[in-house]
Amino acid sequence: MSELKLTKTRIQAGVWEGILHVPDSVGALPEIEVTHQEQPVPGHMLSEDSDTAGQWHLRIAIPQDLLSDGVQTFLIHDKVSGVKLGDFTVITGQPMQDDIRAEMDLLRAELDMLKRAFRRHCLETQNL
């Protein structure tokens, strides 16, 4: 389990914003990667909070070309360790009767992430 904690603050003007809490015990700042359908999403920025030690502002520009009818799920994780730090979902188009499609899309994205981690683990342990 990661000591890092990511808290969403808002989405405004097409930018997801959150606070990344990095305790002193973690050491180096993680390399953040944002993905959508297993593809990297460019356009995120991490800046230190000058008022609070160990807090960093994360801003993720949501690319317009990734928005279309339906549910779009974005995963935020530490690129080096693969640890998932958070996620967010954008729903466009017809109003949804239930939120089950968003949950299914998130489960699908997390399952894909687990499959990649398992395959990496198998390759690493195969050489032992």
pTM of the model: 0.73
Strand ranges for the chain from DSSP E: 5-12, 15-21, 32-36, 39-40, 44-48, 55-61, 70-78, 84-92
Q: Return d(Cα 120, Cα 14) in angstroms, integer.
A: 34
Q: Which residues in the chain come in under a pLDDT of 70?
A: 1-2, 25-27, 94-98, 128
Q: What tokens were used for 23?
A: 């305790």
CB 22 within 8 A of CB 56: yes
Domains assigned to the chain:
5-126 (2.60.40)
Q: How far apart are the first and last CA of the chain?
A: 25
Give pLDDT, residue 39. 94
The model's pLDDT over 39-75, given as tens digits with 9 standing for 90+, comes to: 999 989 998 887 888 889 999 999 999 998 888 999 9
